[in-house]
Amino acid sequence: MNHPDTTLLSAYLDGDLSPREALEVEDHLGECGSCSELLADFRAIREEARELPSQAPPRDLWPAIARAIQDEAARDPRDPDVIRLHPRVPEKGRGSRRGIFLTVPWAVAAGLVLALFSGFMGARLSSGFVQRAPSVSGKGPTEAGATWVSLVGQAKPELAPAAEEVARLERVLSEHQGDLDSLTVGVLEKNLEAIDRAIRESLAALEEDPGNRFLESNLERAVLTKGEYLRDAASLVTPAT
Protein backbone atom coordinates (compact mmCIF):
# COMPACT_ATOMS: atom_id res chain seq x y z
CA MET A 1 0.00 0.00 0.00
CA ASN A 2 1.43 3.35 -0.93
CA HIS A 3 1.88 5.88 1.80
CA PRO A 4 0.67 9.29 0.77
CA ASP A 5 3.14 12.13 1.11
CA THR A 6 3.03 13.26 4.74
CA THR A 7 2.12 16.76 3.59
CA LEU A 8 -1.24 15.32 2.61
CA LEU A 9 -1.84 14.45 6.22
CA SER A 10 -1.28 18.06 7.19
CA ALA A 11 -3.61 19.17 4.44
CA TYR A 12 -6.17 16.64 5.60
CA LEU A 13 -5.98 17.90 9.17
CA ASP A 14 -6.43 21.49 7.99
CA GLY A 15 -9.40 20.68 5.76
CA ASP A 16 -7.53 21.66 2.59
CA LEU A 17 -8.34 18.51 0.61
CA SER A 18 -11.18 17.92 -1.81
CA PRO A 19 -13.80 15.44 -0.56
CA ARG A 20 -12.38 12.80 -2.90
CA GLU A 21 -8.80 13.33 -1.72
CA ALA A 22 -9.97 13.31 1.90
CA LEU A 23 -11.74 10.00 1.36
CA GLU A 24 -8.58 8.47 -0.11
CA VAL A 25 -6.59 9.61 2.90
CA GLU A 26 -9.18 8.23 5.29
CA ASP A 27 -9.13 4.90 3.49
CA HIS A 28 -5.38 4.77 3.89
CA LEU A 29 -5.52 5.76 7.55
CA GLY A 30 -7.89 2.88 8.19
CA GLU A 31 -5.15 0.50 7.17
CA CYS A 32 -1.97 2.25 8.23
CA GLY A 33 -0.84 2.49 11.80
CA SER A 34 2.14 4.75 11.25
CA CYS A 35 0.21 7.36 9.27
CA SER A 36 -2.59 7.27 11.83
CA GLU A 37 -0.04 7.85 14.52
CA LEU A 38 1.46 10.78 12.64
CA LEU A 39 -1.95 12.36 12.24
CA ALA A 40 -2.73 11.80 15.89
CA ASP A 41 0.55 13.53 16.80
CA PHE A 42 -0.35 16.50 14.58
CA ARG A 43 -3.74 16.68 16.28
CA ALA A 44 -2.16 16.58 19.71
CA ILE A 45 0.24 19.37 18.79
CA ARG A 46 -2.67 21.43 17.53
CA GLU A 47 -4.69 20.88 20.69
CA GLU A 48 -1.78 21.82 22.85
CA ALA A 49 -0.99 24.89 20.76
CA ARG A 50 -4.55 26.10 21.06
CA GLU A 51 -4.45 25.69 24.80
CA LEU A 52 -1.09 27.26 25.44
CA PRO A 53 -1.46 29.56 28.41
CA SER A 54 -0.56 33.17 27.90
CA GLN A 55 2.59 34.40 29.55
CA ALA A 56 2.97 37.55 31.55
CA PRO A 57 5.96 39.83 31.08
CA PRO A 58 8.43 39.36 33.94
CA ARG A 59 8.08 43.00 34.96
CA ASP A 60 5.55 45.76 34.54
CA LEU A 61 6.12 47.39 31.15
CA TRP A 62 3.55 50.14 31.63
CA PRO A 63 5.87 52.86 33.09
CA ALA A 64 8.11 52.78 30.03
CA ILE A 65 5.12 52.82 27.69
CA ALA A 66 3.53 55.68 29.63
CA ARG A 67 6.70 57.74 29.30
CA ALA A 68 6.91 57.12 25.57
CA ILE A 69 3.32 57.99 24.88
CA GLN A 70 3.60 61.16 26.88
CA ASP A 71 6.36 62.30 24.52
CA GLU A 72 4.15 61.27 21.63
CA ALA A 73 1.15 63.04 23.05
CA ALA A 74 3.15 66.25 23.08
CA ARG A 75 2.80 66.37 19.34
CA ASP A 76 0.98 63.37 17.94
CA PRO A 77 -1.73 62.31 17.09
CA ARG A 78 -4.16 64.62 18.78
CA ASP A 79 -1.93 67.62 18.23
CA PRO A 80 -2.67 70.00 15.37
CA ASP A 81 0.82 69.49 13.94
CA VAL A 82 0.01 66.00 12.81
CA ILE A 83 -1.12 65.25 9.32
CA ARG A 84 -2.61 61.82 9.00
CA LEU A 85 -2.43 60.37 5.52
CA HIS A 86 -5.23 57.86 5.64
CA PRO A 87 -6.18 55.12 3.33
CA ARG A 88 -9.52 55.79 1.79
CA VAL A 89 -11.96 53.13 2.88
CA PRO A 90 -14.45 52.50 0.12
CA GLU A 91 -18.03 52.00 1.28
CA LYS A 92 -20.50 49.87 -0.62
CA GLY A 93 -21.05 51.49 -3.97
CA ARG A 94 -17.43 52.67 -3.91
CA GLY A 95 -15.71 55.97 -3.79
CA SER A 96 -17.13 57.74 -0.79
CA ARG A 97 -14.60 58.94 1.72
CA ARG A 98 -14.88 58.03 5.32
CA GLY A 99 -13.17 59.99 8.03
CA ILE A 100 -10.42 61.94 6.32
CA PHE A 101 -8.38 62.79 9.31
CA LEU A 102 -6.49 65.87 8.41
CA THR A 103 -5.37 68.62 10.62
CA VAL A 104 -3.28 71.19 8.88
CA PRO A 105 -1.39 73.50 11.13
CA TRP A 106 -1.03 77.15 11.57
CA ALA A 107 -0.56 79.04 8.39
CA VAL A 108 -3.56 77.66 6.51
CA ALA A 109 -6.60 79.81 5.81
CA ALA A 110 -10.03 78.31 6.40
CA GLY A 111 -10.91 78.73 2.73
CA LEU A 112 -7.98 76.57 1.71
CA VAL A 113 -9.00 73.82 4.10
CA LEU A 114 -12.44 73.75 2.56
CA ALA A 115 -10.90 73.55 -0.88
CA LEU A 116 -8.89 70.50 0.20
CA PHE A 117 -11.98 68.68 1.30
CA SER A 118 -13.80 69.45 -1.87
CA GLY A 119 -11.13 67.68 -3.91
CA PHE A 120 -10.37 70.74 -5.98
CA MET A 121 -6.82 70.87 -4.76
CA GLY A 122 -6.60 67.12 -5.12
CA ALA A 123 -7.11 67.44 -8.83
CA ARG A 124 -4.30 70.00 -9.07
CA LEU A 125 -2.05 67.68 -7.07
CA SER A 126 -2.63 64.64 -9.23
CA SER A 127 -1.70 66.43 -12.45
CA GLY A 128 1.78 66.94 -11.03
CA PHE A 129 2.53 63.26 -10.58
CA VAL A 130 5.42 62.01 -12.65
CA GLN A 131 4.69 58.98 -14.81
CA ARG A 132 7.67 56.87 -15.76
CA ALA A 133 7.63 54.71 -18.87
CA PRO A 134 7.86 50.95 -18.27
CA SER A 135 10.92 49.13 -19.59
CA VAL A 136 11.29 47.02 -22.72
CA SER A 137 9.04 44.01 -22.92
CA GLY A 138 10.64 40.61 -22.42
CA LYS A 139 9.61 37.09 -23.24
CA GLY A 140 6.61 35.37 -21.76
CA PRO A 141 6.41 34.84 -18.03
CA THR A 142 7.27 31.57 -16.28
CA GLU A 143 4.51 29.56 -14.74
CA ALA A 144 5.47 30.59 -11.25
CA GLY A 145 5.87 34.17 -12.40
CA ALA A 146 2.57 34.14 -14.23
CA THR A 147 0.50 34.82 -11.14
CA TRP A 148 2.16 37.98 -9.89
CA VAL A 149 2.80 39.25 -13.38
CA SER A 150 -0.86 38.91 -14.32
CA LEU A 151 -1.90 40.57 -11.05
CA VAL A 152 0.34 43.49 -11.85
CA GLY A 153 -1.01 43.60 -15.39
CA GLN A 154 -4.55 43.67 -14.07
CA ALA A 155 -3.79 46.41 -11.61
CA LYS A 156 -1.96 48.54 -14.12
CA PRO A 157 -1.84 47.35 -17.74
CA GLU A 158 0.99 49.71 -18.70
CA LEU A 159 3.19 47.83 -16.23
CA ALA A 160 2.65 44.41 -17.80
CA PRO A 161 5.71 44.56 -20.12
CA ALA A 162 7.97 45.59 -17.24
CA ALA A 163 6.61 42.82 -15.06
CA GLU A 164 7.16 40.25 -17.78
CA GLU A 165 10.73 41.40 -18.21
CA VAL A 166 11.28 41.03 -14.48
CA ALA A 167 9.84 37.51 -14.56
CA ARG A 168 12.22 36.69 -17.37
CA LEU A 169 15.16 37.91 -15.30
CA GLU A 170 13.96 35.81 -12.40
CA ARG A 171 14.05 32.78 -14.65
CA VAL A 172 17.54 33.59 -15.88
CA LEU A 173 18.81 33.98 -12.35
CA SER A 174 17.30 30.75 -11.11
CA GLU A 175 18.85 28.92 -14.05
CA HIS A 176 22.26 30.14 -12.92
CA GLN A 177 21.68 29.57 -9.26
CA GLY A 178 24.22 26.78 -9.23
CA ASP A 179 26.98 29.26 -10.03
CA LEU A 180 26.46 31.08 -6.77
CA ASP A 181 27.29 29.77 -3.34
CA SER A 182 24.41 29.05 -1.01
CA LEU A 183 25.13 32.05 1.19
CA THR A 184 24.70 34.40 -1.73
CA VAL A 185 21.58 32.64 -2.91
CA GLY A 186 20.24 32.99 0.63
CA VAL A 187 20.86 36.74 0.63
CA LEU A 188 19.40 37.22 -2.81
CA GLU A 189 16.29 35.27 -1.88
CA LYS A 190 15.88 37.23 1.30
CA ASN A 191 16.14 40.55 -0.47
CA LEU A 192 13.80 39.40 -3.22
CA GLU A 193 11.30 38.35 -0.58
CA ALA A 194 11.33 41.86 0.82
CA ILE A 195 10.81 43.35 -2.63
CA ASP A 196 8.11 40.80 -3.45
CA ARG A 197 6.40 41.63 -0.22
CA ALA A 198 6.39 45.28 -1.21
CA ILE A 199 4.86 44.34 -4.56
CA ARG A 200 2.22 42.21 -2.87
CA GLU A 201 1.30 44.93 -0.42
CA SER A 202 1.00 47.46 -3.21
CA LEU A 203 -1.24 45.11 -5.16
CA ALA A 204 -3.40 44.44 -2.12
CA ALA A 205 -3.75 48.13 -1.41
CA LEU A 206 -4.63 48.86 -5.03
CA GLU A 207 -7.33 46.22 -4.85
CA GLU A 208 -8.93 48.13 -2.04
CA ASP A 209 -8.32 51.54 -3.50
CA PRO A 210 -8.21 51.22 -7.26
CA GLY A 211 -7.25 54.28 -9.24
CA ASN A 212 -5.13 55.61 -6.40
CA ARG A 213 -2.37 57.25 -8.35
CA PHE A 214 0.20 57.08 -5.63
CA LEU A 215 -0.34 53.36 -5.24
CA GLU A 216 0.01 52.86 -8.97
CA SER A 217 3.31 54.70 -9.04
CA ASN A 218 4.35 52.85 -5.91
CA LEU A 219 3.63 49.54 -7.60
CA GLU A 220 5.56 50.62 -10.66
CA ARG A 221 8.52 51.56 -8.55
CA ALA A 222 8.45 48.23 -6.72
CA VAL A 223 8.38 46.30 -9.99
CA LEU A 224 11.25 48.35 -11.43
CA THR A 225 13.22 47.93 -8.20
CA LYS A 226 12.84 44.21 -8.57
CA GLY A 227 14.09 44.37 -12.14
CA GLU A 228 17.15 46.40 -11.16
CA TYR A 229 17.89 44.08 -8.32
CA LEU A 230 17.71 41.04 -10.54
CA ARG A 231 19.99 42.68 -13.09
CA ASP A 232 22.56 43.42 -10.39
CA ALA A 233 22.24 39.86 -9.14
CA ALA A 234 22.69 38.51 -12.65
CA SER A 235 25.90 40.55 -12.99
CA LEU A 236 27.29 38.68 -9.98
CA VAL A 237 26.97 35.41 -11.84
CA THR A 238 30.14 35.84 -13.84
CA PRO A 239 31.78 32.90 -15.55
CA ALA A 240 34.93 31.78 -13.74
CA THR A 241 37.81 34.07 -14.69
Applying the rule CB under 8 A, the residues between 71 and 90 that interact with other proteins are 72-73, 75-78, 81-89
Check binding of 49 to other proteins (CB under 8 A). yes
d(CA 170, CA 150): 15
Q: Nearer to other proteins by C-beta: 23 or 187?
A: 187
Q: Nearer to other proteins by C-beta: 3 or 137?
A: 3
Length of the chain: 241
Q: Are 35 and 3 in contact (CB under 8 A)?
A: yes
Q: Which of 2, 18, 55, 182 binds other proteins (CB under 8 A)?
A: 55
Cα→Cα distances 68→58, 59, 83, 196, Å: 20, 17, 20, 33
Which of 58, 6, 11 has its CA nearest to residue 32? Answer: 6
Least spacing, CB of residue 201 vs other proteins, in Å: 6
Would you give the distance in Å from CA 154 to the centre of its chain? 16
Q: Site residues for other proteins, window 109-128 (CB under 8 A)?
A: 112, 116, 119, 121-122, 124-126, 128
Check binding of 146 to other proteins (CB under 8 A). no
Q: Which stretch binds other proteins (CB under 8 A): 28-36, 61-69, 149-157, 169-177?
A: 61-69
Least spacing, CB of residue 148 vs other proteins, in Å: 9
Check binding of 99 to other proteins (CB under 8 A). yes
Least spacing, CB of residue 133 vs other proteins, in Å: 18
Q: Which stretch binds other proteins (CB under 8 A): 22-30, 36-44, 154-162, 166-174?
A: 36-44
Q: Nearer to other proteins by C-beta: 101 or 137?
A: 101
Q: How many CB atoms lie within 10 A of CB 155?
A: 21
Q: Site residues for other proteins, window 147-166 (CB under 8 A)?
A: none
Q: Omega before 4 cis (within 30°)?
A: no
Q: Are 138 and 165 in contact (CB under 8 A)?
A: yes
Which of 191, 188, 139 has its CA nearest to residue 165? Answer: 139
Q: Nearer to other proteins by C-beta: 168 or 226?
A: 226
Q: Site residues for other proteins, window 187-216 (CB under 8 A)?
A: 187-188, 190-191, 193-198, 200-202, 204-205, 209, 212-215
Cα→Cα distances 181→178, 184, 186, 236, Å: 7, 6, 9, 11
Q: Cβ contacts of residue 116 below 8 Å, gap of 6+?
A: 102, 104, 122
Residues that contact other proteins, how many (by CB under 8 A):
97
